[in-house]
Structure formats: structure tokens, C-alpha cells
């Protein structure tokens, strides 16, 4: 599909890309196939798609025989989704709703089959972090998440210990992220300002780290990352109201250097640090 073709196609349906909804449509057939391949979508798979838009990725998921729930916020796409449904009556279900609010867990729980659902989507970039956090935080978690993100975001999420951001830790706690391939801006219409990447996260069946309390863990993390460029001993004392002696004791017992900055810690160190802070507070 060329940009001109899509432009005319949209115009003939009285549509045009809405930037506030992050609408950049995928026009590169190879990239579309690569996404579905990366997600290893096969007949009978349950798939959640966020932001089907004109349904170009949706159609490929359906052609592979998947059972798709597509959640689209923009009601302008209703006629196109209805048209797609004609070809896939039994396997497509779509909802006009905000994917961040919609209770898709209930729907997937109601379907037969042991395997969990897969998320496959070209998500709007302005809410990438929110969408990932929502998908990783739900009680009935997906088996995998294959999405397009900005290339820099995919790099950030797949970083190694020593360069872990708050988002990278949030993801790597629950699964293994892989940057499958980069995607040039020209694969989209309209072309975004940045290059993109296909990011796949395989969620752990048995989480590597057992957290006593997820909320508390992320509370400590957020407090420390609020002082991203500052050394940890300062941030811990200032943002978590701990005394100098408490901070010294904590860092000594976890083997973390007082001069370390938050992005230098491993997930293991964050887990032990947050558990120890909690114990201190309980005293």
C-alpha cells in the first residue's frame, strides 16, 4: 500500500488521520507480516488488539485464524470494522472504547482453552508506557505482548542491568523483552517523526522475583527515580524520609554503593532494597 493509496482510501471514507489519537497507519506489508510472525499467531489463538484503526493488522490476525478482540477509541472507524466483521463473523469482536479502561480480561476468561491471550498491536505512541503498565499489571496477564514502539523506547525497555529505567524495570520484572526489528518511519502513513521498532515481551509463567507487595515496590522505585541524576544515598534520605544512619545501613547490607544512581541498579537489588526499606518502616 502506498501513502497515496491510503490517503485516497481514507478520504473516500471521509476520514483523515487524527494526531491526538496517535494515528499512524501501517502501510508496509512486510512489516505487517513480521509483526504477526513475531507474535507467532496461529489458528485458535486469542488476541487482543488495541487501536485497530482501519483494520489492516486486524485482518492479518484474522486470516491466521485468531479469535480477535479489537478495542478502538475512535468511533470514526466503525464502518470499516463492521465491514471487516462481515468476512470474519465468528472470530472478530470489536468495541469502541478506551483500551485503558475496557475490561477485556473478563472476555478472555470466558473463552475456552488453557492458553492465555496474546496482545498484538500498533499502539498509539503517546500512551506506550501507560498501555504496557496496564497490560503487565492486570490480574489475568497475557502470554505475550507484541507492539510497535518508538525505537528509542524499545531500546530503553530492552536495556541491560546498568542502564535500567523505571519502564525497563516494570517490564523486565514480568517478562523478557526483545527488540524484534526496527521499522523506518516510511512504513507508516502519515510517517511519524521518529523511527519505530517491533517489541516483543514474553511474560514469565513463573515470575523470577516474588514481590511481597507490588505497590510498595513501585513506590520505592518512583521515589528513587524522581532523583534520576542524583546519588542514591541522597534520594533515599530525602524522598523516603530515612535517616542518614538508616540509609547507610540499608546500602551496606544490600551491597549497593551509596554513590550509585538509580539506573545502575539491577532488578534484584531493587527487590532487596525495597523489602529492607519496608522492614525498617515496620519497626
Cα 89 to Cα 264: distance, rounded to the nearest angstrom? 51
Q: Residue from 98, 152, 252, 268 that binds ligand SAH (CB under 6 A)?
A: 98
Nearer to ligand SAH, 17 or 227 (CB): 17
Q: Is 95 in the site for ligand SAH (CB under 6 A)?
A: no
Task: Give the total residue count for the chain.
Answer: 283
Cα 96 to Cα 177: distance, rounded to the nearest angstrom? 29
Nearer to ligand SAH, 60 or 233 (CB): 60
Site for ligand SAH in 23-62 (CB under 6 A): 23-26, 50-54, 56-57
Which window, 21-29, 199-207, 251-259, 266-274, contacts ligand SAH (CB under 6 A)?
21-29
Q: What are phi and psi of 26, to 5 degrees?
A: -80, 125
Q: Is 73 in the site for ligand SAH (CB under 6 A)?
A: yes
Q: Is 71 in the site for ligand SAH (CB under 6 A)?
A: yes
Rounded least distance, CB 154 to ligand SAH, Å: 16
Q: Is 22 in the site for ligand SAH (CB under 6 A)?
A: yes
Q: Is 122 in the site for ligand SAH (CB under 6 A)?
A: yes
Q: What share of the chain is helix, strand, coil (3-state, %, to 5)?
A: 45, 15, 35
Rounded least distance, CB 279 to ligand SAH, Å: 39
Which among 30, 34, 28, 36 is positioned nearest to 6, based on CA atoms?
28
Q: Are 242 and 187 in contact (CB under 8 A)?
A: no
Residues sharing a CB contact under 8 Å with residue 268, sequence separation 6 or more, in sequence order: 209
Which window, 81-89, 97-105, 195-203, 248-256, contacts ligand SAH (CB under 6 A)?
97-105
Q: Whose CB is nearest to ligand SAH?
A: 51
Q: Are 122 and 32 in contact (CB under 8 A)?
A: no
Q: Residue from 28, 74, 195, 275 that binds ligand SAH (CB under 6 A)?
A: 74
185: which DSSP letter?
Answer: G
Q: Are 265 and 256 in contact (CB under 8 A)?
A: yes
Q: Give the interface with ligand SAH as residue ranges (CB under 6 A).
A: 21-26, 50-54, 56-57, 71-74, 98-100, 122, 124
Amino acid at each position: 500500500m502506498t501513502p497515496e493509496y491510503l490517503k485516497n482510501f481514507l478520504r473516500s471514507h471521509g476520514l483523515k488521520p487524527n494526531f491526538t489519537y496517535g494515528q499512524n497507519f501501517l502501510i508496509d506489508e512486510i512489516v505487517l507480516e513480521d509483526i504477526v510472525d513475531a507474535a507467532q499467531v496461529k489458528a485458535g489463538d486469542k488476541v487482543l488488539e488495541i487501536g485497530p484503526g482501519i483494520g489492516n493488522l486486524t485482518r492479518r490476525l484474522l486470516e491466521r485464524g485468531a479469535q480477535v478482540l479489537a478495542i478502538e477509541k475512535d468511533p470514526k472507524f466503525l464502518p470499516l470494522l463492521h465491514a471487516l466483521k462481515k468476512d470474519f463473523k465468528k472470530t472478530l469482536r470489536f468495541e469502541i472504547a478506551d483500551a485503558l479502561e475496557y475490561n477485556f480480561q473478563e472476555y478472555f476468561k470466558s473463552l475456552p482453552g488453557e492458553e492465555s491471550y496474546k496482545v498484538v498491536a500498533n499502539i498509539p505512541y503517546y500512551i506506550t508506557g501507560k498501555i504496557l503498565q496496564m497490560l503487565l499489571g492486570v490480574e489475568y496477564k497475557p502470554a505475550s505482548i507484541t507492539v510497535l514502539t518508538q525505537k528509542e523506547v524499545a531500546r530503553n525497555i530492552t536495556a541491560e542491568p546498568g542502564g535500567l529505567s523505571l519502564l525497563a524495570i516494570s517490564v523486565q520484572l514480568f517478562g523478557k523483552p526483545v527488540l524484534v526489528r526496527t521499522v523506518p518511519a516510511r512504513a507508516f502513513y502519515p510517517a511519524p517523526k521518529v523511527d519505530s521498532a517491533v517489541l516483543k515481551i514474553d511474560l514469565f509463567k513463573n515470575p523470577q522475583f516474588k514481590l511481597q507487595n507490588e505497590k510498595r515496590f513501585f513506590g520505592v522505585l518512583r521515589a528513587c527515580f524522581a532523583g534520576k541524576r542524583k546519588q542514591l544515598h541522597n534520594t533515599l534520605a530525602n524522598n523516603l524520609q530515612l535517616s542518614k544512619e538508616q540509609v547507610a545501613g540499608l546500602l551496606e547490607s544490600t551491597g549497593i554503593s551509596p554513590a550509585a544512581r538509580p539506573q545502575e541498579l539491577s532488578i534484584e537489588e531493587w527487590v532487596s532494597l525495597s523489602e529492607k526499606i519496608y522492614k525498617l518502616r515496620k519497626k
